[in-house]
């Protein structure tokens, strides 16, 4: 192993339990840690192409894979890398590819082929700011790309979004399992900060059991030849293929949704954020609570399938939701679809490689809090007036009046407001 994985002595004397915990933790860079987790998970082959801010992942693989007699190829392009992965994965190998946003765009075509033909593979996107060549700063602006159909055709891929380096390691391993269980490409997305940062991680690795694949291309010795393909020029046949895919997606949506919550027990205001934005939100929640706003965190871990039902349940009791992203507001669309107007949904985000600070988020939360409280007060006032009126009027009139009342939150959710000053969108 490398020096980065070494654990040394020294430090304050601790209880044996703490001592054991301390010993098990080492400082690792996100890109390196994810690469090592994939290696320990039995990754047979890695294909990549240099791009900031994921280059360390490629470099780690370049050193470690040949050491272990496994496959590493630096391809001529991201197109080359992803198609090498397609070929290797078609033989049943456990394959990893990593890149960053512009490179991921180039991979859309092959991802569509793999989704269509049922080829399992894990793709890591260490997201940077776009559009175009953009910048190399951290970003979450590839949410649409990852969750709404990266390439052409009716398909989805599971998308896992870790918020710490340790979680990135775990989710990379889980991604291999999901890919092989459902015969689908799986994406792990995190931003440049998690790729470049170092955090203590526990070196507990997992190598998921190997499945026997009745589809893998191994040479047709003693069996009929197998074909891995996505083409079907007969519309009826292709529709059947698509229906089967959609069934698979429904099954994934039923069984694989993941999310986490923090400080939600008494939360009236819910921050919805993933990845690095969720960490900022976590700090913001502490500050908001100190100012008397009862805030909690809802953190999607699977961006697809999105934890819609779980969020809808939360929205039933929340005064308002504030979505925080390193983008112009992409996940917020899924948040609104899940919330279905049950409560106002605000948004705060930064672009271009900037990360919102906790104070910024608290500012946005306070603005939202103020508006919501004013609306609630107004509603209570209306309610009192109606009750006053209903004392002298038939019951059905009250009923009608209620039905005519504007749904709480609609006006807020749609109110145009500046983003930088923390207004919702």
Q: Of 297-336, which residues contact other proteins (CB under 8 A)?
A: none
Of 54, 83, 147, 302, the one binding other proteins by CB under 8 A: 83
> CA 202, CA 274: separation in Å to the nearest integer?
22
Residue 249 near other proteins by CB under 8 A: no
Q: Using an 8 Å Cβ cutoff, are 116 and 228 in contact?
A: no
Size of the site for other proteins (CB under 8 A): 80
231 binds other proteins (CB under 8 A): yes
Is residue 60 a contact residue for other proteins (CB under 8 A)? no
Q: Of residues 155-194, which lie at the interface with other proteins (CB under 8 A)? A: 164, 192-193
Residue span binding other proteins (CB under 8 A) among the ranges 75-83, 180-188, 366-374, 383-391: 75-83
Q: 22-53 burial by CB neighbour count: b if 16+ within 10 A, else e?
A: eeeebebbbbbbbbbbbbbbbbbbbbbbebeb
| Identity of the residue, 36 or 334, whose beta carbon is nearer to other proteins in the bound complex | 36
Q: Which residue has the tokens 């504030």?
A: 322
**Binding other proteins by CB under 8 A: which of 32, 35, 53, 348?**
53
Task: Output the smallest distance, CB 260 to other proteins, in A.
Answer: 12
Segment contacting other proteins (CB under 8 A): 45-53, 246-254, 264-272, 411-419?
A: 45-53
Task: Give the one residue of 62, 71, 264, 312 binding other proteins; rule: CB under 8 A.
Answer: 71
Could you tell me the two tokens for 400?
């009608």
Question: Is residue 337 a contact point for other proteins (CB under 8 A)?
Answer: no
279 belongs to the binding site for other proteins (CB under 8 A): yes
Q: Is the dihedral of CA 245, 246, 247, 248 positive or negative?
A: positive
Tokens 């009139």 map to which residue? 397
Work out whether 196 is an interface residue with other proteins (CB under 8 A).
yes
Other C-beta atoms within 10 Å of 394: how many?
9
Only segment of 229-237, 304-312, 314-322, 329-337 that touches other proteins (CB under 8 A): 229-237
Stated length of the chain: 425
Q: Which residues share a beta bridge with 260?
A: 299
CA distances to 63, 140, 178, 200, 234 from 173, rounded to whole Å, are 20, 22, 9, 18, 38
Q: How far apart are CA 420 and CA 350, in angstroms?
A: 8
Residue list 386-425, contact with other proteins (CB under 8 A) = none
The residue (of 113 and 306) whose beta carbon lies closer to other proteins is 113
Binding span for other proteins by CB under 8 A among 86-94, 204-212, 288-296, 406-414: 86-94
Interface residue with other proteins among 329, 346, 356, 423 (CB under 8 A) is 356
CA–CA dist 98, 35 (Å, integer):
9
Residues β-bridged to residue 188 = 124, 160
Is residue 263 involved in binding other proteins (CB under 8 A)? no
């Amino acid at each position: 192993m490398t020096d980065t994985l070494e654990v040394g002595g020294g430090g304050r004397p601790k209880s044996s339990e703490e001592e054991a915990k301390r010993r098990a933790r080492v400082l690792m860079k996100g890109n390196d840690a994810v690469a090592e987790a994939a290696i320990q998970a039995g990754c047979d082959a890695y294909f990549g192409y240099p791009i900031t801010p994921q280059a360390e992942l490629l470099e780690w693989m370049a050193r470690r894979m040949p050491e272990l007699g496994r496959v590493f190829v630096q391809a001529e392009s991201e197109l080359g890398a992803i198609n090498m992965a397609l070929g290797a994965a078609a033989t049943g190998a456990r394959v990893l590819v990593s890149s960053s946003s512009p490179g991921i765009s180039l991979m859309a075509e092959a991802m569509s082929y793999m989704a269509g033909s049922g080829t399992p593979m894990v793709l890591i996107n260490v997201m940077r700011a776009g559009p175009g060549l953009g910048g190399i700063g951290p970003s979450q602006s590839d949410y649409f790309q990852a969750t709404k159909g990266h390439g052409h055709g009716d398909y989805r891929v599971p998308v896992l979004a870790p918020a710490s380096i340790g979680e990135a390691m775990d989710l990379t391993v889980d991604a291999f399992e999901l890919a092989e269980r459902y015969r689908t490409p799986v994406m792990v997305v995190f931003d440049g900060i998690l790729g470049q940062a170092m955090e203590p991680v526990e070196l507990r690795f997992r190598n998921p059991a190997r499945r026997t694949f009745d589809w893998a291309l191994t040479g047709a010795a003693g069996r009929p030849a197998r074909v891995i393909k996505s083409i079907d020029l007969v519309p009826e046949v292709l529709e059947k293929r698509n229906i089967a895919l959609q069934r698979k997606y429904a099954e994934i949506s039923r069984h694989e949704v993941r999310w986490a919550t923090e400080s939600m027990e008494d939360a009236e205001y819910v921050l919805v954020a993933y990845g690095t934005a969720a960490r900022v939100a976590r700090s913001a929640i502490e500050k908001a609570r100190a100012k008397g706003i009862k805030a909690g965190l809802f953190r999607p871990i699977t961006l697809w399938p999105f934890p819609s039902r779980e969020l809808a349940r939360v929205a039933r009791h929340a005064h308002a939701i504030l979505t925080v992203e390193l983008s112009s507001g992409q996940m917020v669309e899924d948040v609104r679809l899940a919330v279905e107007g049950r409560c106002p949904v605000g948004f705060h985000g930064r672009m271009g490689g900037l990360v919102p600070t906790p104070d910024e988020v608290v500012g946005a939360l306070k603005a939202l809090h103020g508006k919501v409280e004013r609306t609630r007060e107004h509603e209570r006032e209306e309610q009192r007036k109606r009750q006053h009126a209903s004392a002298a009027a038939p019951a059905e009139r009250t009923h009608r009046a209620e039905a005519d009342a504007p749904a709480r939150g609609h006006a807020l959710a749609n109110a145009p407001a500046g983003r930088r000053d923390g207004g919702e969108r």
